[in-house]
Amino acid sequence: MVKFRRPDAGQLLILSVVPTILIYHTYIRGDPPTTLELTFVLTLYALLVFVSVIQGGVQSVNYLLVFGFLIAVFSSVLYFQNDDIVTLASIVVGILMLLRGIQLRIRKSTQPS
């Protein structure tokens, strides 16, 4: 059964950073995100909110697997559209998160109960 908890101050700070960055890019820099970028950010933000209110959510192996997969997929699509180094670095980060999640899942399954 899933246990809910109140997010601490650090997680609330992280949750406030994403809308602040979106507002900064849209209104101050005048560079609104594309539909794909907005979908990517909102999907990750929704998952981040979900993980922050579940007890043990950030420490979960599933967190690394889901976030790593989403970051790698969305960044790959953005890289094929924009062809810049930042999205290429995001692909690497997503793949590293995914591989770390796979490593922890394998390690957890081989440990005796």
Q: What is the pLDDT of residues 81-102, one digit of tens each?
A: 888 888 889 899 999 989 998 9
Q: Which residues pair with 39 in a beta bridge?
A: none
Q: What is the pLDDT of residues 68-78, one digit of tens each?
A: 999 899 989 98
Domain ranges of the chain: 35-110
How far is the CA of 21 from the CAs of 5, 17, 58, 77, in angstroms?
26, 6, 22, 21
User: Is the separation of the CB atoms in 72 and 99 below 8 Å?
Assistant: no
Enter the tokens of residue 7.
């997010």
5 or 1: which leads in pLDDT = 5
pLDDT given for residue 73 in this prediction:
92
Exposed, middle or buried: residue 68 (CB in 10 Å: 0-12, 13-18, 19+)?
A: buried
The dihedral through the CA atoms of 21, 24, 27, 30 has a sign that is negative
Average pLDDT, the chain: 84
Stretch 13-29: mean pLDDT, rounded? 84
d(CA 68, CA 71): 5
